[in-house]
Structure 1
């Protein structure tokens, strides 16, 4: 299954999560957090500033397959990423999504931005429409904003030192 990231690069892997872990996907703004068992980065396919993904380094599908340590690292990562999104004024609220339909475990940390609420409404039922709209209408400036926002979140996390 060939897909393109927001930078126009082809993702040639059957499993995007594994390709991210192997470094085969160019992540907008780079890796925000490279943990023991997870990677936090801007979503490589959806051009929305502050839209983050937590990807498991192991090829698993379900939250139930995570170890206790992996669950703890994910919880800490969600907390600091959410604080960054709010403190940096990217969004006032976030939506967390994890579904087993995907071949590789990941969690979306989706920033509920004002334009989304005005155009689509509030709730999970609108996320696919918002994502499609963002992909179909992204400008070069939007892509640059995704990269800049990922870099700002990385600096926030590094400066706050919340993982200790």
Structure 2
């Protein structure tokens, strides 16, 4: 079991955070953004940045090449639908995508919006 502190200050103890979120045991602030047969999308539970979405596999796999053909198709369609909503609803012009295979969670991708305030944050780090 791992103890994880969520962006709302609450802590949860779980074996796998992705399993807890995709099954509804732990809820991401803002709730479910999109759910398909194979994927679950939610606001990042650790970082409360508006529009920062995690698209996670419901199945406990870690790598993109472990997805079935149906899961790959579902992933791209879900990713596209979320990106369109980020642009149309939230006015997010650019998004950074992050994916790593050495995660302790399920296969997932972060969809991180780029906001102007991030430039100032980065400039402070470089001082």
TM above 0.5: yes
**Retained in 2: the 8 A contact 1:96–1:108?**
yes
- Provide the C-alpha distance between the structure 1 equivalents of 2:120 and 2:89, rounded to a whole number of angstroms: 21
CA contact (8 A) 2:36 2:78 kept: no
Determine the structure 2 residue equivalent to 1:148. Answer: none
Q: Under a length normalisation based on structure 1, what TM-score does the superposition of the two structures give?
A: 0.69
Structure 2 counterpart of 1:106:
108
- Runs of 4+ with >6 A deviation: none
- Higher share of residues assigned strand: 2
Q: How many residues were matched structurally?
A: 122
Structure 2 matches for 1:2-151, cutoff 5 A?
2-103=3-104, 104-120=106-122
Unaligned runs of 5+ in 2: none
Q: Give the aligned CA root-mean-square deviation in angstroms.
A: 1.5
Q: Which has the higher helix share?
A: 1
Deviation of 1:109 after TM superposition, in Å, equals 0.6
Structure 1 unaligned blocks of 5 or more: 122-128, 130-164
Higher relative contact order (CA 8 A, sep 6+): 1
Task: Tell me if structure 2 keeps the 8 A contact 1:62–1:105.
Answer: yes
After alignment, is 112-121 or 15-24 more displaced? 112-121
Worse overlay, 84-93 or 13-22: 84-93
1:57-82, CA deviations, whole angstroms, 9 ceiling, x for partnerless residues?
Answer: 10000001001111111111111111
* DSSP 3-state at the match of 2:83: helix
